[in-house]
Structure 1
Amino acid sequence: MLELDHLIAFLPGPPEPPDGLLLDDGTRHVGQGTRNRRIVFARHYVELLWIDEPEVERASGLGFAARCARTAYPFGIVLRGTLPEGRFRRYTVPNGPTLAVHEGDPDMPFLAVAELSDAQLTGLAHRPGPPHPGGATGIVATRLTGAVPPGPTLPGLSITPDGAPSLRLLLDSGPPLVLS
């Protein structure tokens, strides 16, 4: 079983809050050279990520600089559950978990999986985030455009190579969130 953990929008710099949604204070990813702010929901979140230490990011081997500069596909997907078929490598987040990172190409979304058994996934507690001014409490559907699909079937996600790169989220309340 697989489910969405979070989505990533790779940005050239710090973001402005989207209309009707709150951003948390975020985190500096020590050892990765990146920083983020998040739109948090009970079961998922959207990570708005940019580089704040270019030399450290280069050493991480994740290739986020090209995604933030928009010379590679600027969106990513992190799932949790059973690893699907495909080419994956292990990456240990400094002071964090080990993820399986898909060995895709620059035209594919960044894809990683936090491996959990079905029992672990079923027992996973979820915390509601702060209420958003627009009333949204969760993501209903996700569509990535302008991307080559990475291969494995991804739950609740639609990926198409047609159009300019964008991430469209249908939320349970309020207008869709579109990042491009």
Structure 2
Amino acid sequence: MLELDHLIAFLPGPPEPAGPLAGFFLDEGTTHTGQGTRNRRIRFRRHYVELLWIDEPETEQASGLGFAERSARTAFPYGIVLRGTLPEGDFRRYTVPDGPTLAIHQGTPDMPFLAIAELTDEQIAGLPHRHVPPHRSGATGIVATRLTGATAPGPTLPGISLTAEGDPSMRLLLDSGPLRL
């Protein structure tokens, strides 16, 4: 089984909490030690949307993750992190500094970044639901996601559809309505 852990929108800089993000509570985020990135998140009980940008370019370059290209929009600027059983495909192991080991798909720049946090079905069932502040939009979760302008990475992605046609975008269907990033 695979389920959504979080979605990533790679940005050229910190997000503005206006425009489409105005109805959402953005947490303070975190600095990713050893990755050269910083984030803020729109959190829900079982998943979240990570708004990620480069904070330390030299450190990001050394990480080998290719996030600078995604943030500069020279590679597809969205990503998906799932949790569950590793599907078939070309994956490599990456240990997040001071964090878990992920299986990262060895895709091409026109594919979304894809990583899997390997967990058994029993481990997934035992994950707690987070307490999150309410969003002014009323949203409590992601129902479905559509990535446009992306080549599919291969494995079936639960609740996520991809199309190669069009400019890169991420459209979320939340339980309160649509959100485009």
Please point out which of 95, 111, 114 is paired with 1:111. Answer: 114
1:172 paired residue number: 175
The alignment partner of 2:114 has SS state of strand
Asked whether the equivalents of residues 42 and 137 of structure 1 are also in contact (C-alpha less than 8 Å), the reply is: yes
1:14 paired residue number: 14
The alignment partner of 1:143 has SS state of strand
Matched, 1:127 2:130: yes
CA positional deviation for 1:176: 1.0
CA positional deviation for 1:4: 0.2
2:49 paired residue number: 46
Q: How does 1:1-180 map to 2 (within 5 A)?
A: 1-17=1-17, 18-173=21-176, 175-179=177-181
Between Structure 1 and Structure 2, how many residues are aligned?
Answer: 178
CA positional deviation for 1:59: 0.3
CA positional deviation for 1:34: 0.2
Q: What is the alpha-carbon distance in structure 2 between the residues aligned to residue 142 and residue 15 of structure 1?
A: 20
Asked whether the equivalents of residues 34 and 51 of structure 1 are also in contact (C-alpha less than 8 Å), the reply is: yes
Instruction: Give the residue type in structure 1 aligned to 2:86.
Output: L
Instruction: Calculate percent identity across the aligned residue pairs.
Output: 78
Which blocks of at least 5 consecutive residues in structure 2 are unaligned?
Answer: none
Asked whether the equivalents of residues 104 and 110 of structure 1 are also in contact (C-alpha less than 8 Å), the reply is: yes
Query: Given the two structures, how large is their TM-score scaled by the length of structure 1?
Result: 0.98
Instruction: Give the residue type in structure 2 aligned to 1:90.
Output: R
**Moved runs in structure 1, 4+ residues, more than 6 A?**
none
The alignment partner of 2:25 has SS state of coil
Query: Given the two structures, how large is their TM-score scaled by the length of structure 2?
Result: 0.97
CA positional deviation for 1:92: 0.2
CA positional deviation for 1:35: 0.1
Which blocks of at least 5 consecutive residues in structure 1 are unaligned?
Answer: none
Q: What is the alpha-carbon distance in structure 2 between the residues aligned to residue 9 and residue 33 of structure 1?
A: 16
